[in-house]
Structure 1
Amino acid sequence: MGGRPGMGMPAEKALQFGPSAKRLLGLLRPDRVVMTFVILLGAVSVALSVLGPWVLGRATDVIFEGVLSLQLPAGITQAQAIAQARASGNDTFADLLSGMRIVPGQGIDFGALGRILLIVLGLYLASSLFAWAQAHLLNTVVNRAVLRLRQSVEAKVHRLPLKYFDGRPRGEVLSRVTNDIDNISQSLQQTLSQVLTSLLTVVGVLIMMLSISPLLALVALVAIPLSLVITALIAKRSQPMFVRQWRTTGELNGQVEEAFTGHALVQVFGRRQQVQAEFDAKNAELTRSSFLAQFTSGIIMPAMLFVGNLTYVAIAVVGGLRVASGSMSLGDVQAFIQYSRQFTQPLTQLATMANVMQSGVASAERVFELLDEQEQIPESQQPATVADPKGEVRFEDVSFSYRPDQPLIEHLSLTARPGQTVAIVGPTGAGKTTLVNLIMRYYELDGGRITLDGVDIASMTRHDLRSRIGMVLQDTWLFDGTIAENIGYGRPGATDEQIRAAATAAFVDRFAHALPDGFETRINDDEGSLSAGERQLLTIARAFLADPSLLILDEATSSVDTRTEVQVQRAMAALRSDRTSFVIAHRLSTIRDADVILVMEHGRIVEQGSHEELVELGGAYARLYQAQFAGAVLDEV
């Protein structure tokens, strides 16, 4: 394409974890009612689970009190047993007895023990059921959010201007649409439930610890600020590494997509080793960035385990002293030790999820960057339309450039009258394809205007404008489907008769009937079942079927053999009748019968006229024609 902008990677933006994470969670907002139920179910599940250790503590007390009661003579009261212990100088044992409720000589109350264990079983079973219901609802919410995100990205891609894709490798864009969204989905599914449960568990366990022993709760709370400081310090270092990991993943995908697309050329020019070396280098870079991100973030968990173990030791020592003094029962200490584990475990789990959260937020930022890209100019609220289409196209003082510092088309004016065939020729980079892209409104003008039958195309909707235009490009595009379906792409709802008629007009039937399943033969753009010329004939048949009022042919017969080209040219002549046609051609023999030939150089029309007029003029067109004629003679010699 003339004046096509250079390829390049977008500049990396500084990561903002907080705003990106908040925006990511905002995807759940449409399901906030369901999320309320998720939180309620989680709270009930955690509450039931948190009650379990306290009830089990009562079971421990029943067992311990029963064992101690057997060491005391039957028939006396607890107060008498305490008095006897103090009288014998065993104050520690007396303090221990004072913190219990025992009946000397009774033994273990197995009936009470059984009832307590049944209650614990019921609590944990109910907690599991509520947790399952919460997980089911949360999974539904996450999948809906990702569904909406994919829909937003898909819609955004269709609203982006063509220049966005010109400046980025396709593989890098595909990586954002596929890999990054998949990573967001996995991150949300893995972290949301865990984070929600962990936070609720911390709150529930803290309430239980405070109710059992404020002093021991204070010891356990020391772990929170220490854990937060450790997590923040490590996360600050690992987050940029996750950004680098996913950026490198996109770059690697772009490189692989480029190499696979041009696989034949890679083999022809013997560049396999170079491509392999570039892949190995990028793959090694991705390995390094992934390792550093995972390793750095992975340090959080061992650090949190270390803090949790310190807390566990402190609670065990202080709790043992309070049991000996009679200030706490053994069951309370046991329950508190379990709570201390439950208290530090969510913090450890949150730390473990940190790398998953950071990775998901890094991917989310890349997707949000795409969603925040500048879109095409919005459609007019009251769009104009062409009431009586005739096919007159006017360029009125049109200026356009891909880059402000590199002018391409300046103050161009021309008129294509209804039914005319306008051929555009010129050297590579002259702006030929850019000219027809402006008609299609793939790019917005810098100045001037283009009208279709007197209506400014900028005031029309893009769909309305492009529905009136048929376009056949030099680069063919076919999708995975049958030959009939690929032709039918030109007109939704076309009948089989109309598809066969278009195929006959474009000579597709010549090779389609020779295929195993005829028009029902499945093809795609990558396989080699069709030659380049046959694929191009399919795209021409697609344009025949569309039956547009304005036709654009960009080197549409460049891959067709000479004999077929003559036939297609005759069919094109019939197709072009009663409609305006723009034909871009390098082989001047194909446009000799054009009504007007435009010769472009550096975005300007330097000559225009019929073939005979321009040859007689002896200017730029004559030089191009003579060069091709001389080349043909030399080839024959």
Structure 2
Amino acid sequence: MSVTGVEGEERLDYTKAESGQIRRRSLRLLGSLLFPVRWSVVVAMLVVVVSTAAQVAGPALIAYGIDKGLPALLNQDWMPLAATGAVYLVTGVTGALLIAWYTVLSARISQAVLIDLRKRVFLQTQRLSLEFHESYTSGRIISRQTSDLDAIRELLDSGINQLVQGLLYMVFTAIALVTLDGVSGLVLLVALVPLLALTRWFQVRSQHLFRRSRTASASLIVQFVETMTGIRAVKAFRTEPRNERVFGKLVEAYRLVNARVIQLFGVFDPGLILIGNVTVAVVLLVGGFRVADGQLAIGALLAALLYTRRFFDPMEEMAMFYNSYQSAAAALEKISGVLEEQPGVPDPIKPVDLWTSTGAVQFENVQFEYQADRVILPHFDLTLEPGQTIALVGSTGAGKSTLAKLISRFYDPSDGRVLLDGVDLRDLHPKDLRRAIVMVTQEAYLFSGSVADNIAIGKPGATRAEIEAAAQAVGAHDFIVGLPGGYDTDVNKRGGRVSAGQRQLISFARAFLADPAVLILDEATSSLDIPSERLVQEALQTLLSDRTAVIIAHRLSTVAIADRVLVMENGVIVEDGTPDMLISGTGRFSKLHAAWRESLV
């Protein structure tokens, strides 16, 4: 697992080795993003070098015009001054045109990189296993796709331009100053000592603060997303005052860390101005005496002053770049951590095809541990015969859902094998696995779109007749045709236009349309009222007759359609038999059934 992965996402106290690992990981990601646009980057670099050189030539041309062109003009020779003016105009126009071209090139590069990165994050978060998503909150994933990518976008759109142009401008300016007047260049060299010290001071203190700022920003997003996602619970339990206090603390923490960042700039920016002004003053003082002694021409002094002043001009922009850079670097660390996460359920290297399946499921000496420190399912063997309907019964936390997720290969066993028609699920081609095994969960999630679109997820390309037939089979057709647009009704985000029971029926229709060999219903009838549940049970008796089915339910009424009942306690199957056999016994299921009948009375 990566250093900033699920366990250590919000850490700030990295060791030196971990920091180096994170930097290398981020640089690998950046390199892979830039590689497809490498030639555009090369062209952009050439353009910005030429344009910067054209801009830096200005003061030298002014010095030449004053020192050479004016004396020649006094002697009725206007060519040197005119030529200087013409060259100055050409360099100015050339620099402006090249900068415009560079701006377009850099924008295209940044957009290509961002599109690539957004796709990678989206595809990776889909590819990662259920274990990752159960540990990594949805708010943090949203933060990766929003605020973190925005930080990188700001860096690519403006920060890189500031860095490249600023650095080149400073280097070319220093070279021009040294070439023009070595003494003034020496003064500038001495000024670099306090300049570098101030920059290093800013870098050391800002690095930690910018990482804290990204973490604080992510915490705000996480809190907001979780509150809005659970708004029904918020309203039901009147947690608005508590949420306000929690969010207020997060906002205050974010404000404080940004206030400290602003304080850093409050020292750094005036420090740059002070060093720049003192350097210009020293160049003017030393150069003035040298002009008076005839050692330096007046035009050269003017050019030296312009170069010295211009040398410090990009520094403030460089500081703003460092702001963008630190934010983007922290964001890139988090994104690279997500992108380097390895799925807990990897695709097989040499997948085995299984075009048709009988639905025979077998557990061979299977054990499942969660994070290698807690055994959920001890070693056990189990065989589910083709076409058999099995009900999993037990108290909450008994391991029923874990067993079902092993069949669906949401998890891989820590030890042993889960087989489908004799093929280890870890070797089975993912397409064949998803076609053969379908799970319907309690959540019954609906995507934005029409009712027909949501049902058709079970079989892409299904005809309207097939969609309606699936809905009729599970008893969903009547309520669907009663919706404002029938099958074309937009269910809205999270199925907001239909009830919880209706969402469950739509998800049933989706699963039945998929026609899997193994169908798993994980508490899938919990949202249904009694009439709807009876309709579904009637449909199940017909539709499950030729497939293997695993039903997890607390309602023992659902167990009546099962051929076989497995009773689980603490991850162990304690009873196994037909419903009638277990009811007539004295075991755990018999007691559960008796208590259920008493509750009905």
State TM-score, norm by structure 1. 0.88
Counterpart contact for 2:9–2:334, Cα < 8 Å: no
20, 40, 65: which one aligns with 1:34? 40
Aligned counterpart, 1:76: none
2:599 corresponds to which of 631, 634, 637? 631
Measure the CA separation in 2 of the matches of 1:21 and 1:216. 40
Is the Cα contact below 8 Å between 1:210 and 1:217 reproduced in 2?
yes
Deviations 1:368-406 (A, max 9, x none): 111222333543332223354111111112110213332
For residues 209-254 of structure 1, the C-alpha deviation after alignment (integer angstroms, 9 at most, x for no partner) is: 1221111111112222322221111211111111111112222222
Deviations 1:345-381 (A, max 9, x none): 2333322321111111011111111122233354333
Larger deviation: 190-199 or 148-157? Answer: 148-157
**Aligned letter for 1:490?**
G
For these two proteins, the number of residue pairs brought into alignment is 589
Matched with 1:583 is: 551
Match of 2:224 in 1: 256
Q: Deviations over 1:300-358 (max 9, x none)?
A: 22221211111111111111112222222211111111111221223333223211111
1:62/1:108 contact within 8 Å kept: no
Misfit runs of 4+, over 6 Å? 107-111
1:50–1:273 CA distance, 2 compared to 1 (3 A): same
Q: Does 1:379 align with 2:347?
A: yes
- For the 8 Å contact 1:238–1:293, the answer to whether it is kept is yes
Q: Which residue of 2 aligns with 1:597?
A: 565
Residue 448 of structure 1 aligns with an amino acid whose one-letter code is G
2:142 to 174, 182, 192: 174
2:581 to 606, 609, 613: 613
2:44 maps to amino acid:
V
CA-to-partner distance for each residue in 1:92-140, whole Å, 9 max, x for gaps?
Answer: xxxxxxxxx468xx48877754553333222111101011111211121
- CA offsets 1:552-601 (integer angstroms, 9 cap, x no match): 11122211221121111111122112110000010001111200000000
2:280 aligned with 1:325: no
Asked whether the 8 Å contact 2:370–2:376 carries over to 1, the reply is yes
Partners of 1:40 and 1:484 lie apart in 2 by: 55
Alignment CA distance shift 1:592-1:30 (3 Å): same
2:473 alignment partner in structure 1: 505
**Structure 1, 595-604 or 455-464: larger mean CA deviation:** 455-464
Q: Residue 57 of structure 1: CA displacement?
A: 2.4
**Distance in structure 1 (CA, Å) of the matches to 2:222 and 2:161:** 34
Structure 1 equivalent of residue 402 of structure 2 = 434
347-356 or 427-436: bigger deviation: 347-356
Cα deviation, residue 204, structure 1: 1.5
Shift of 1:462: 3.0
Alpha-carbon separation, structure 1, partners of 2:270 and 2:465: 71
Report the 3-state secondary structure (helix = DSSP H, G, I; strand = E; otherwise coil) of the residue aligned with 1:290: helix
Deviating more after overlay: 449-458 vs 340-349: 340-349
Aligned residue identity for 1:12 = R
Is the CA contact 2:367–2:380 (under 8 Å) kept in the aligned structure 1? Answer: yes
Question: Which among 420, 423, 427 is matched to residue 391 of structure 2?
Answer: 423
Give the counterpart letter for 1:459 in structure 2. D
Do the aligned partners of 1:45 and 1:127 also contact (CA within 8 Å) in 2?
yes
Q: For residues 24 and 234 of structure 1, do their structure 2 counterparts lie closer, same or farther at Cα, with a shift above 3 Å needed?
A: farther
Rg larger in structure = 1
Check whether the contact 1:20–1:364 (CA below 8 A) recurs between aligned residues: no
1:423·1:583 contact (CA, 8 Å) conserved in 2?
A: yes
Q: Which residue of 2 aligns with 1:164?
A: 132
Measure the CA separation in 1 of the matches of 2:405 and 2:263.
Answer: 49
Q: Offset of 1:616 from its aligned partner?
A: 1.0
Distance 1:559 1:285, change over 3 A: same
The residue type equivalent to 2:143 in the other structure is S
Deviation (angstroms), 1:58: 3.1
- Residue deviations 1:520-556 (CA, integer Å, cap 9, x gap): 1112344632111111111011011111111011122
What are the superposed Cα offsets for residues 475-512 of structure 1, whole Å, 9 maximum, x if unpaired? 11111111111111111111121112112222322122
Which residue number corresponds to residue 151 of structure 2? 183
Mapped pair 1:295 → 2:263: yes
Alignment of 1:445-524 (within 5 A): 445-524=413-492
- Distance in 1 (CA, whole Å) between partners of 2:538 and 2:390 is 16
Residue 3 of structure 2 corresponds to which residue in structure 1?
Answer: none
Q: 1:366 aligns with which of 328, 334, 339?
A: 334
What's the offset of the Cα at 1:24? 5.8
Q: Structure 1: which amino acid aligns with 2:233?
A: L
Match of 2:99 among 128, 131, 145: 131
Q: Deviations over 1:590-616 (max 9, x none)?
A: 111200000000001000111111111
Letter in structure 1 aligned against 2:306: Q
Could you state the TM-score of these two structures normalised by the residue count of structure 2?
0.93
Corresponding residue for residue 60 of structure 2 = 54
Aligned twin of 1:549? 517
> Structure 1 residues 509 and 408, CA, compared in 2 at 3 Å: closer, same or farther?
same
Whole-Å separation in 1 of the counterparts to 2:545 and 2:495: 35
Residues 1:258 and 1:348: Cα distance change in structure 2 (over 3 Å) = closer
Structure 1: gaps spanning 5 or more residues = 1-6, 66-100
Aligned to 2:375, the other structure's residue is in SS state: coil
Are residue 153 (structure 1) and residue 159 (structure 2) matched?
A: no
Contact 1:385 1:464 in 2 (8 A): yes
Gaps of 5+ in 2: 1-5
